[in-house]
Amino acid sequence: MKKLLLIGSLAAACVLATHDLSAAHGGTYRGPGGDTVPPTSGGGSSGGSTGSTPGGGSSGGSSQPQSSGPSSGGSGNNKGSGAAGPKGPSGPDPTQWDQWWGYNKDSYINLRGHLFSGSALPSPEDYFLAHGGKARALIGIRPADKLVRDKIVPALLEVLATENHNDIVTGAMIALAKIGDAPGSSQESELAKVFLPFLNNSSQEIAETAAVALGVLGDARSVSTLTSLLLDEEAGRKLVGHSQGVPTRTRAFAAFGLGQIGFYSDDSKQRQEIVRALWQICDSPRQSTRDLKIAAITAMGLVPLPAPLPGEQSQLDSGACPTDRQSQVLYLRDYFVSQNDANRPYLTRAHAPRAMCSLLLGYKDKALKHEVVKALAPYVTKRGSVGTREVRQSASQAFGLLGDLDSDPEDAEIRERLVDASKNSDPQVKNFSVMALGQIGGRPGDGPSAIAAIEPLRKFLREELVEGATQLRPWAGLAIGVMEGALLDQGIQQSNGQLAALRGALEDSRAEIEVGAYSIACGIARDADAEKILLEKFNSMSGDTVRGYSAVGLGLMNSTAAMDPLQETVRTSKYRMVLLKESAIALGILRDKSVVHELLQMLAEAKTLSSQASIASALGFIGDASSVDPLVQMLRDKDVTAAARGFAAVSLGIVADKEHLPWNAKFSVNINYRAGVPTLSDSAGKGLLDIL
């Protein structure tokens, strides 16, 4: 179903023209024009363990890809282009704020929470703070379980049994995995039994989707299966039908699946089993493929081991597998600082900071935090003379997860380093540093003077917004929105001066890339005083992309005045996919379910693939029980294109999802997408983060 992302989720025209969509599956909707993944510095294998890829490239990790620099681009006034932000030769500029938003937006939008629970917006770190809990069922959020089990599940199982088109099969598998087994299943997972034969499918796309579907399903009994795939064991080779070895992509997707299961597991022994398997990939010199090592590191950051027992001192012997949280973090620290280890190339090391800092969230160990700060600090500077740019980007970004506002020496150093790094010569280091300061600004500490740095940080961000470099201003505006929104969530008074500066920037700007950032920022901060300005921008700007961001901003700030123009936009935007979807999502945030009926009517009349995909996707995002029958009918209708039927499967999975946020958001939040590899995400829509 990655093809459906690119068609139904508004991909930039240049990508549609240059990539073969017939080979793609599943897709995450990243926002207006944000479906085009930025050029990455990563390479990596897409093939099997024999050393060759389908395209004939090497699967080894010894060669270093060229470092990714910023794309050259235009002014940002790409009105109506369908692309989000200035474009360089290979697509949208990856240094622009909208790329970050595409990977991090789910926790802020939290559409299903708005639609059904009325709960406050969680912070982007909520996923990482939920370690050790069980999968969160959405009672009262998705359609009644009887409807799910009697109509949706049978329809999805039916197409799995009768269809072989990649879009339909992968869409149905992921949808079923998101729905999960029926309550009370205590023996073996019925859905896992359905997925297992697809591991041996002749289509690599279907086989790797089956591997990750076992993880999304959340069935702990699949750990041994996924481990055998990941480690290329004999049992795994039999499952995939490859006597010469499990394909590398399938192994990487198995690692992601293990991370998904371990994230929710409350069984410490099982988490240790998962970490051991991931560690074997990270530490073995034989596993040279970057995709595989990055998958293992990323997954390890989601599977926290228990703390050492009281009175025990964690020790990490050279080459030893981590056995507790301290040794787990220290292992990742040592992995990160190993600049001269050929088994730990820079692109894989670039993913260690996020993993170790994720494991520290909610874990009170000041000595361990000190060790991590000491390891990352040399990479977070203005000079940027240590490490590659991807490593420096990741270090700055990770500090946003680790730091807070109190006066602890470690936190003071984190903030000082980030301010310094905001002047780095690499644009992405600057961007990530400013955003990290915004995240820190919304996080009171537990040390002396919990919000000691709040005013200095506000002053810094405001100066960057008003007087900073043009390219950095949207990032500063978005950082202000993130900071003030998080403070509001915690009952801390917002700064009228900050919000006024943000409103002023929104009102004065005519550049679409800036207006979009400030619109989202005002929405995240829930600044009701910005409503009039934002409505004016929504009505007066000509580009669908910027109007889509304005729509989301209005939804996030709970603008009831926006309901009528948003409803009218949905009714009149059948062929304007960006605007239709964003306006529908904004109405969903405002808890206006009347748009579901409008969309159902439009779906019944839609004739083209693009309109079917756009409308079905919008229904998936905001749909309820009334959307089930039309989507099931579309899924079963063989007169409809396979891509549109696949999109119907995806939409049904979203409607009936057992999780609050998209399952792969836990992988995408605060990830350094500039250090990407194909198994994570790419412009062809083939990565983990591209699955809807």
**32 with 11: CB under 8 angstroms?**
no
Q: Give SS3 for 246.
A: coil
What is the residue whose two structure tokens read 């998962």?
274
Q: Which two tokens stand for residue 127?
A: 């996923």
90 CA to centre of own chain: 22
Which ranges in 468-608 belong to alpha helices (H)?
473-489, 496-508, 512-524, 531-540, 544-556, 563-572, 577-589, 594-605
Contact 312, 341 (CB under 8 A): no
| pLDDT score for 133 | 36
Low-confidence ranges of the chain (pLDDT < 50): 1-90, 117-125, 127, 129-140
In terms of C-beta density within 10 A (0-12 exposed, 13-18 middle, 19 or more buried), how is residue 285 classed?
A: exposed
Alpha helices in 361-388 (DSSP H): 366-376
Instruction: For the beta carbon of residue 443, count every other beta carbon within 10 angstroms.
Output: 22
How many Å from the N-terminal Cα to the C-terminal Cα in the chain? 8
Residue 44 pLDDT = 36
Please report the pLDDT score of residue 109 as a whole number: 85
What secondary structure letter does DSSP report for 351?
A: T
* CATH of span 181-303: 1.25.10.10
Chain segment 268-297, per-residue pLDDT in tens: 999 999 999 999 999 887 656 899 999 999
What local confidence, expressed as pLDDT, does residue 608 receive? Answer: 77
